[in-house]
Amino acid sequence: MISYLANPARFERLAKYASPIFALVSIVAFIIGLYFALVKSPPEKYQGDAARIMYVHVPAAWCAMMAYTALAAASLVSFVWRHPLADSAAKAFALPGAAFTFLALATGSLWGKPIWNTWWEWDGRMTSVLVLLFIYLAYMALWAVIEDKKRAARLASIFAMVGFINIPIIKYSVEWWNSLHQPASISKLEANSIYSGEMITALLTMALAYTCLFGWLSINGIRRDIAKAKAARPTAPAATATITEL
């Protein structure tokens, strides 16, 4: 499958169909998810309506980690097999991933103020997610400042693979250190709410919407990078007639 999609022409054929499907599913999922989040789901047992921000915050945090996992996997493919399309994919994953990470941090801060009475706490989860944002920004900076794209690809791939160590730190930080953060949201909903059906439906539908949005952004990002590479490719000089005699 990797070898098949490594061909830009094959990827472009697939992307022409996949891109609108991801966009459509994302729009529909956002509409349904927001309806369940704002109308159907009840207030959370302990946090009331303030917990509704979870339907934006939690999927953003999931997608931030998913995007970086995809980025690290594409970087591994680039580093081992030297597929240029893997570099395009990794670059395309970076900007949406950084945006999801920023959204997770911003909404987490908004959620924390009424619940914890603080905008920010240097606990393991919040700090490691902030580090993830810095990793995304540093990864994009490597591509921007290094003019030799082959060298940039190698250094960016190594950096991305090393940076992946932060993903399990984010995941297990609430278990390893004292934290204001709750455990996994789905487990909490199942354990503590008699209305968990509506709340889980809202949360999972919003997660689907975010995931499909990420897919749409990534596909179009790869397509733009392919088009940019084609435009930068030197064209063969036009054939000229040789004058053999005057």
Amino acid present at 6: A
From the list 142, 169, 168, 170, the residue with the least C-alpha distance to 157 is: 142
Q: What tokens appear for 38 in the block?
A: 């704002």
From CA 234, how far away is CA 241, in angstroms rounded?
21
Query: Which residues touch 4 (CB under 8 Å, ≥6 apart)?
Result: 10
Query: Which residues touch 77 (CB under 8 Å, ≥6 apart)?
Result: 2, 83, 86
Query: Which CATH entry fits the domain spanning 13-226: 3.30.1460, 2.120.10, 3.10.50, 1.20.120?
Result: 1.20.120
Q: What tokens appear for 62 in the block?
A: 């999931």
Q: Per-residue pLDDT averaged across 173-177, rounded?
A: 82
Q: What are 76-85's pLDDT values in tens digits?
A: 999 999 888 9
Q: What are 202-219's pLDDT values in tens digits?
A: 999 999 999 999 999 999
From the list 165, 158, 26, the residue with the least C-alpha distance to 96 is: 26
Q: How confident is the prediction for the chain on average, in pLDDT?
A: 88
Q: Are 188 and 146 in contact (CB under 8 A)?
A: no
Q: At residue 44, what are phi and psi to the nearest 5 degrees?
A: -65, 150
Q: Which of 70-79, 138-147, 235-244 has the lowest mean pLDDT?
A: 235-244
Q: How confident is the model at residue 159 (pLDDT cuts 50, 70, 90)?
A: very high
Q: Which of 71-75, 170-174, 201-205 has the lowest mean pLDDT?
A: 170-174
Domain spans, the chain: 13-226
Q: Per-residue pLDDT averaged across 58-68, rounded?
A: 97
Q: Residue 177's pLDDT is what?
A: 78
Q: What are 99-122's pLDDT values in tens digits?
A: 999 999 999 999 999 988 899 989
Query: Which residues touch 212 (CB under 8 Å, ≥6 apart)?
Result: 22, 23, 25, 26, 29
Q: Residue 37's pLDDT is what?
A: 95
